[in-house]
Amino acid sequence: MGIGLGNPYNSLGLQATFVSIDLTEWEEYSMSLHLHRQLECGCGVAVGVENIMLTEGGDSESSHYIVFSQVLQGDDYENGNGASKLHYSIGAGTNRYGQKSDADVEAGKSRYGTYVFGNISYELFNEFNAILDWNGINLNAGISKTFFVSNVPLGVSLGLADLTDNSGDQVRFIFGIGTGFKL
């Protein structure tokens, strides 16, 4: 669950996110902050910190990051519909963006990843995207589709995580559902 404040087009935007870390017990929580600015070139910059408020029992530590994102403004954007087919981000971070788990090290995998992360998303057709994501340690891939229910957007994402053998013990199925509204 999160909330966004401010105006990243005229000044700065701030997002605060609250996350449940363990869905089986609903007792471990975390908070993250993301400060961002939208620039004229269809791009933006952001700095953030994850896990700044971590309940007892959580096994994550705070991770700081900086990221640059851009939408490549092709014909669709220039024709006035405000859409862009290709989006990408590249950034660098601490801790979770490069430090592997003790289980990975015991399994013979190196201790560190790249600390550099990035993603690319391409719209295959109307509001249906293919996504590749390097999180600093492993590769993830998925698809995402936005549906509109009574003019309320509902985003559904499905994917596979840990596609390389850099961390984890097997490929995992991941999914997400989200919506947004403006007050």
Question: For residue 121, is pLDDT > 70?
Answer: yes
**Whole-model pTM?**
0.83
Confidence of residue 57 (pLDDT cuts 50, 70, 90): low
| Top-ranked range on mean pLDDT: pick from 20-29, 80-89, 158-167 | 158-167
pLDDT, tens digit, 9 for 90 and up, residues 13-29: 999 998 877 677 777 78
Look at the block and give the residue holding tokens 């862009």: 84
Query: For position 61, what pLDDT does the model report?
Result: 82
Query: For position 152, what pLDDT does the model report?
Result: 87
Question: For residue 140, is pLDDT > 80?
Answer: yes
Q: Is 28 helix (H, G, I), strand (E, B) or coil?
A: coil
